[in-house]
Amino acid sequence: MSLTDQLKRAAKELAWLLEIEIAMRIDDLTWAQVPATDTWYITIPLVEGRPSRVREIYRVFASGSGLPAEHEVTEYAEEATLAGCNGNAGSWYFENGILYVHTTMDEAPDSGDFYIAMYFWKCFCDGQYPAPNELVFSVAPGFPAVWYDPRLQKDSIPDLSMEVTGFQQGGVQQTWGTLKLNNGDGELDAQLFDYIWENKVYVLRVGEPGDAYADFVPVSRGRTGGIAWDDAAVTLGVEDPTRTVD
Amino acid sequence: MLNVLVPKNHFLTINYPLMEDYVLGLSIPLGWGNIHDVVPFCIDTVALRFKLVDQHVDITEVRSKGIVLNTPGSYVAYPTIAEFVLEGTPYFAGGATCYFAVSGTYPISLTDYLQFRTLGNALHTAYTIDGAGVGSTWTPLAGRTLGFNAFGKQTLAGTEEQIHQGLGNAPAIQPLRNVAANTRLGDSFVVPAPGYFLTRIQVFLYTPPQVGTPIGETSVTTYSSLGPGLNAEVQEGMQGDQLQIITGQAVYSLALPQAGEDADLVADIESPFPMLTTGAEIIEDLFINTLDKDILDATWLADFGVSRTQMLKVFIDREMTVGDFIGKMEATLLWKFIPLQDGATVALKYAPIAFGGVKDLATAPAYHFRDEDFLDFRMEHDLSTVRNIVRVKYDEAPDTQEFKIATAQSDYARLFYSCEDTVEIETWLTGEGESGSAFPDDAEDLARAYMKFFMKPQARITFRVHGFGLNLLPGRDKVRLTRSRAMWQGGAINGDLFRIMRLVKSPATNSTEMTAILDDDTIPDFDISSGSL
């Protein structure tokens, strides 16, 4: 849907997509080694399809040792084959629900020398539609298509204001708010504990039922803030993405 | 009481009619602990009287431009009122010849002595002096002078100027105290017009400046005499500072007492007398001696003193409320000062694993709430509390107001919450542990303890239950919770322990709302790196 089309649509005809790149700590899981390699693997039962990226911090003090500088985040490279992962330190490969990781120091991910985070996209919408208008998309090329979970409360989407201050002053004033996800069934209860939702990238898109994914227009891209939970819903804070450097 | 301002007393004209102008109206500081570099206030510009704090102290050292002043000789201390009086600075009229002698307290030795530098110069003459006191023999070193610079002020409040420069070539060694004839070295210079207060003499030493290890102090004495060794009237003693090497030339400075901004006077004190250094001692002294309020519960004060033995240095030269004072002390020692509804007061100590070794007073939780008890239940992860780095500022220098800094850093916050925010906590820690303490580096320990609070979003639970008469105290008491649905591991809370942080009792609805946080002291210490700047 183009912006011109969007102007003509009544609110009830719009469909909203919310995508959040959730993190999961994986260095505290138990890993197995691919024989005769420095690659380690674990089964990740991700209903969301596949990870989006893997990152590491090498925690051991590294002064003068030639090891990675202390406190630096290393973004692992995604490999297209297991052989590629075996051959490259600081890489990952995902196949058939199994995540393979080759750490920067060729050590086991659960050696205690690392923190490792795996990221994946959680996808929500404000309501589902019968086929052929089902909201089932892949968030990026190469990602499997996933069914967008209809938990987003459309009425909770906050006003997002932007105001340019005087040019002699510099700066832009923006306001943010909160988003609500229905959670009366408790589906998210444990996930909010198991995964890390705070300060994660989110994208809010709007389109029309039946649109292709590419036709959904990004309305807001920011970061999640704190989380409030009650029996009925989960409230996610949304914040200025420039607040943190990632 | 918490709104009362301390320090209570100020420099007023009625009490200090001869003080320097800038002192009028300033707070008279309060101090506890071993405090270095306290800048004295000149309260009598005629008598050169200086005040340090508003308590009885032990004045351990007074320095001018970094050079230690002798007592007696350069100043007289009055510890009960935390004051000292500078002895008069020697004055020489323009054109007068100032004789001085350098001496050391170390014994005569052929293997341990200082090597002074003499120069070829006919304008004045160096002397070797056999013995001390009036009548000792001053033997000229023909054609040689001691290498030295002299400094003075035209007025006591004026700026220091150089009034003699050591010039000459053909440097040679002149030992001090390697033979009996060399127990002192003397020289002289003509004081320029219009006359000067002599403040400092810099003597040059040879390279190497010493042979062996002469143990003792070096000082200079000036004489208002008509000639060397004649009717010598001792003016003032001076004491040397540490040897300075300036562009290949060793220089040793010796100072005389002096007033004025240029004097850079500072003092070290132990305050009050006898010195108090722990949080419990300082709080007790503040309440009893400064505020005259004996409201402290002896039991908790004793318990607090046992569990928080860190050595503190508290110096207050600007007004602050007692509430702010208590707050900073709480931040320094990780405890809470909580007044109860019956008027008593308790001290609560938080969970610093390596900070004091004692966790808190609370024991078993008083209540276990279950599903059927909750009228309302909600949870929150507060992202705004997450920090990547904790910087604990400690050991503030009173003269420059600069701190030392201990840091603790969490890679967990950096990777999982993309947080690079820093929190700074200003404390009164000195960084020194009690002698023989298991926790010798207090500031780093405190930074690590704080990091455990900041490395993850704080999980808060707010719930409401029946009854408003629950005998619970925020900060101290814990409750056990069980709930079949929660933002928790496995989606349920099964008897976990939470500490109450907030309590709202509503008599109208016969209910109590509580906010609690997980009483989580399980974060491993190795998750945090730390160091000091």
Q: How does pLDDT run across A113-144, given as a tens digit for each residue?
A: 889 999 999 999 999 998 888 999 998 888 88
pLDDT at B132: 66
Residue B26 has pLDDT above 70, yes or no: yes
- Backbone region of residue B114 per phi and psi (left: phi > 0; alpha: psi in -120 to 50; beta: other values): beta
Instruction: Examine residue B527 and state whether it is found in any structural domain, yes or no.
Output: no
pLDDT at B215: 82
B293 in A contact zone (CB under 8 Å): no
**What confidence category does residue B230 fall into, taking pLDDT thresholds of 50, 70 and 90?**
very low
**What confidence category does residue B234 fall into, taking pLDDT thresholds of 50, 70 and 90?**
very low
Tell whether B396 and B473 lie within a shared domain.
yes
Residue A109 has pLDDT above 90, yes or no: yes
Residue B147 has pLDDT above 80, yes or no: yes
Nearest CA distance, B74 vs chain A (angstrom): 50
Q: How does pLDDT run across A147-188, given as a tens digit for each residue?
A: 999 999 988 888 877 788 777 777 777 777 889 999 999 999
Tell whether B433 and B502 lie within a shared domain.
yes
**What confidence category does residue B232 fall into, taking pLDDT thresholds of 50, 70 and 90?**
very low
Kindly determine whether residue A196 and residue B492, on different chains, have CB atoms separated by under 8 Å.
no
Residue B76 has pLDDT above 50, yes or no: yes
B490 in A contact zone (CB under 8 Å): yes
pLDDT at B142: 87
Tell whether B373 and B509 lie within a shared domain.
yes
Kindly determine whether residue B380 and residue A227, on different chains, have CB atoms separated by under 8 Å.
yes
Kindly determine whether residue A61 and residue B411, on different chains, have CB atoms separated by under 8 Å.
no
Kindly determine whether residue A189 and residue B457, on different chains, have CB atoms separated by under 8 Å.
no
pLDDT at B273: 87
Contact between B362 and B340 (Cβ < 8 Å): no
Q: Which of B417, B419, B489 sits opposite A193 (nearest CB)?
A: B489
Tell whether B420 and B505 lie within a shared domain.
yes
Tell whether B52 and B159 lie within a shared domain.
no
Mean pLDDT of all residues in B290-299: 74
- Total count of domains within chain B: 4
Residue B109 has pLDDT above 60, yes or no: yes
Domain boundary among the residues B271, B303, B332 is at B271
Nearest CA distance, B378 vs chain A (angstrom): 5
Residue closest to B308 by CA, chosen among B357, B246, B268 = B357
DSSP letters of B441-499? -HHHHHHHHHHHHHSS-EEEEEEEEE-S-----TTT-EEEEEESS-SSGGGSEEEEEEE
pLDDT at B393: 93
Tell whether B46 and B100 lie within a shared domain.
no
Give A111's contacts in chain B (Cβ within 8 Å): none
Kindly determine whether residue B414 and residue A71, on different chains, have CB atoms separated by under 8 Å.
yes
**Is the bond leading into A158 cis (omega within 30 degrees of zero)?**
no
Residue B88 has pLDDT above 60, yes or no: yes
Tell whether B106 and B76 lie within a shared domain.
no
**What confidence category does residue B134 fall into, taking pLDDT thresholds of 50, 70 and 90?**
low
Interface test with B, best of A24, A61, A63, A115 (most B CBs within 10 A): A115
Give A189's contacts in chain B (Cβ within 8 Å): 485-488, 491-492
DSSP B175: E
Instruction: Examine residue B416 and state whether it is found in any structural domain, yes or no.
Output: yes
B418 in A contact zone (CB under 8 Å): yes
Nearest CA distance, B471 vs chain A (angstrom): 27
DSSP A149: B
Q: How does pLDDT run across B365-413, given as a tens digit for each residue?
A: 668 899 999 999 999 998 888 998 999 999 999 888 899 988 888 888 8
pLDDT at B351: 45
pLDDT at B341: 66
Residues of chain B with pLDDT > 70: what percent? Answer: 81
pLDDT at B345: 63
Tell whether B407 and B453 lie within a shared domain.
yes
Domain boundary among the residues B271, B305, B334 is at B271
Mean pLDDT of all residues in A68-95: 89
B/e letters for B440-471, b = 16+ CB within 10 Å, e = fewer, are ebbbbbbbbbbbbbbbbbbbbbbbbbeebebe
Domain boundary among the residues B271, B298, B314 is at B271
Contact between B61 and B68 (Cβ < 8 Å): yes
Q: How does pLDDT run across A59-77, given as a tens digit for each residue?
A: 766 555 555 566 788 999 9
Nearest CA distance, B432 vs chain A (angstrom): 25
Residue B249 has pLDDT above 70, yes or no: no
pLDDT at B156: 75
Cite the beta strand spans of B331-441 per DSSP E. 335-339, 345-349, 367-369, 374-382, 389-394, 404-410, 422-426
Instruction: Examine residue B208 and state whether it is found in any structural domain, yes or no.
Output: yes
pLDDT at A245: 56
Residue A24 has pLDDT above 50, yes or no: yes
pLDDT at A219: 86
Q: Which of A112, A194, A199 sits opposite B419 (nearest CB)?
A: A199
- Higher pLDDT among residues B148 and B301, named by residue: B148
CA-based nearest residue in chain A for residue B460? A228
Nearest CA distance, A218 vs chain B (angstrom): 23
Q: Which of B381, B419, B486 sits opposite A226 (nearest CB)?
A: B381
Tell whether B425 and B372 lie within a shared domain.
yes
- Name the average pLDDT for chain A: 86
Nearest CA distance, A170 vs chain B (angstrom): 23
Residue B56 has pLDDT above 60, yes or no: yes
Distance CA A224, CA A133 (A): 28
pLDDT at A99: 95
- For chain B, how are helix, strand and coil distributed in percent, rounded to 5? 15, 45, 40
**Is the bond leading into B40 cis (omega within 30 degrees of zero)?**
no
Q: Which of B377, B409, B419 sits opposite A244 (nearest CB)?
A: B419
The mean-pLDDT minimum among A95-104, B69-78, B172-181 falls in B69-78
Q: Is A56 exposed, middle or buried (0-12, 13-18, 19+ CB in 10 A)?
A: buried
Instruction: Examine residue B43 and state whether it is found in any structural domain, yes or no.
Output: yes
Instruction: Examine residue B417 and state whether it is found in any structural domain, yes or no.
Output: yes
pLDDT at B137: 80
Q: What residues have CB less than 8 Å from B30, skipping those under 6 apart?
A: B6, B7, B53, B54, B55, B286, B290, B314, B315, B316
Residue B168 has pLDDT above 80, yes or no: yes
B409 in A contact zone (CB under 8 Å): yes
Instruction: Examine residue B501 and state whether it is found in any structural domain, yes or no.
Output: yes
Q: What residues have CB less than 8 Å from B185, skipping those under 6 apart?
A: B101, B102, B103, B116, B126, B127, B128, B129, B146, B174, B176
Q: How does pLDDT run across B260-271, given as a tens digit for each residue?
A: 666 788 999 998
Kindly determine whether residue B383 and residue A237, on different chains, have CB atoms separated by under 8 Å.
yes
- Higher pLDDT among residues A82 and B239, named by residue: A82
Kindly determine whether residue B381 and residue A198, on different chains, have CB atoms separated by under 8 Å.
yes
Contact between A204 and A218 (Cβ < 8 Å): yes
CA-based nearest residue in chain A for residue B389? A71
* Domain range enclosing B292: 279-354
Mean pLDDT of all residues in A177-204: 93
Tell whether B188 and B315 lie within a shared domain.
no
Kindly determine whether residue B416 and residue A226, on different chains, have CB atoms separated by under 8 Å.
no
pLDDT at B532: 59
Q: How does pLDDT run across B202-211, given as a tens digit for each residue?
A: 888 887 888 8
Kindly determine whether residue B415 and residue A56, on different chains, have CB atoms separated by under 8 Å.
yes
Tell whether B440 and B467 lie within a shared domain.
yes
pLDDT at B524: 52
Residue B291 has pLDDT above 70, yes or no: yes
Mean pLDDT of all residues in B64-79: 81
Instruction: Examine residue B529 and state whether it is found in any structural domain, yes or no.
Output: no
Interface test with A, best of B371, B385, B388, B411 (most A CBs within 10 A): B411
Instruction: Examine residue B483 and state whether it is found in any structural domain, yes or no.
Output: yes
Tell whether B192 and B294 lie within a shared domain.
no
Contact between A122 and A20 (Cβ < 8 Å): yes
Mean pLDDT of all residues in B141-151: 90
pLDDT at A63: 54
Interface test with A, best of B377, B409, B416 (most A CBs within 10 A): B416
Q: Which of B377, B382, B411 sits opposite A71 (nearest CB)?
A: B411
- Higher pLDDT among residues B519 and B200, named by residue: B200
- Phi first, then psi: what are they for B420, rounded to 5°? -120, 25
Q: How does pLDDT run across B306-352, given as a tens digit for each residue?
A: 878 888 999 999 999 988 998 899 888 887 777 666 666 665 555 44
pLDDT at B111: 92
- Higher pLDDT among residues B489 and B228, named by residue: B489
Nearest CA distance, B462 vs chain A (angstrom): 10
B12 in A contact zone (CB under 8 Å): no
A10-15 long-range contacts (CB < 8 A, ≥24 apart) are: A13/A208, A13/A209, A14/A206, A14/A207, A14/A208, A15/A125, A15/A126, A15/A127, A15/A129, A15/A135, A15/A206, A15/A207, A15/A208, A15/A209, A15/A211, A15/A216
Residues of chain A with pLDDT > 70: what percent? Answer: 88
CA angle centred on B337, ends B334 and B343, rounded to 5°: 165
Highest mean pLDDT among A224-238, B59-73, B123-137, B469-483 belongs to A224-238
Nearest CA distance, B525 vs chain A (angstrom): 13
- Higher pLDDT among residues B530 and A57, named by residue: A57
